[in-house]
Amino acid sequence: MSQPVVIVTGASKGLGLEVVKILLNKYSAKVVAVSRSVPQPLKDLAESSQGSVELVTGDVAESSTSERACAVALEKFGKLDGLILNAGTLDPLGPILKTDIKEWQTAFNVNFFSLVTMLQSTTPALRQSKGKIVFVSSGAATGDTQGWAAYNSTKAAMNSLCRTFAKEEPTIASFAVRPGVVDMQARLRELGPASMDAEEFKRFETMHKEGKLLPPDSPGHVIASFAVRGPIKLSGQFLNWNADELADFQKPTA
């Protein structure tokens, strides 16, 4: 198999950065890493990749960022095989009646409309490669956590977009993957006490204190693998990263 070329949004830290590493190490992929900033770990990774990582700095809410990412993939690597839509924001946290509509609009611009602009930019290239798209979703897509109304809504919209796009583009395999509760919840711990129901916040806080949050490379293996070799028969589905049917895509056990 030739080296796959994959765009990853939200690549600067956490799950996104881990996915880039897995694509490089497991699949010898070429990666276009999209992020608003370039922290040192991502910069170091790009510099050590021997030309396998191209950085695109920009806000995914701006359509020009999607256009540049696709152009870089085609100009630098000659094709596009996969797309991982990982960028997102948890804000605004708080009750529906107390959150500002402008913050809701920002959340939808980042978590949903950026997906649409990326699909519009990359679909011609993905048609040619019969490519794969991973929408990094959440249990929030079907959940009702108090204080998360904006986030819940954007992830539900994401899943709907994935289902519909899979019908419209049957040669492109599209998946919405739930990565579980990953150990990168600093923003939640900062804002949660003032924005969430106390019992619901306590559940997340307890998981953190007891070390029950997932390391990013666990769901990261599934996300990276689906962007390279996800099966078309699962296209359009909402999948849990640790489902039995995804065993072949999960991180190998020692």
Options 12, 35, 137, 195, the catalytic residue: 137
DSSP helix/strand/coil, 31: strand
Q: Is residue 85 within 8 Å of 72, Cβ to Cβ?
A: no
DSSP helix/strand/coil, 56: strand
Residue written as token pair 């990094």: 136
Q: What is the dihedral of CA 206, 86, 105, 101, to 10 degrees?
A: 0
Catalytic residue flag (residue 137): yes
Separation in Å, CA 151 to CA 48, 57, 136: 35, 24, 13
Catalytic residue flag (residue 155): yes
CB pairs under 8 A, 24+ apart, for 206-212? 207/181, 208/183, 212/181
* CA 103 – CA 84 distance, rounded (Å): 25
Options 151, 174, 218, 225, the catalytic residue: 151
Q: Is residue 58 within 8 Å of 7, Cβ to Cβ?
A: no
Residue written as token pair 């289902």: 163
Options 155, 174, 195, 225, the catalytic residue: 155
Residue positions annotated with a catalytic role: 137, 151, 155
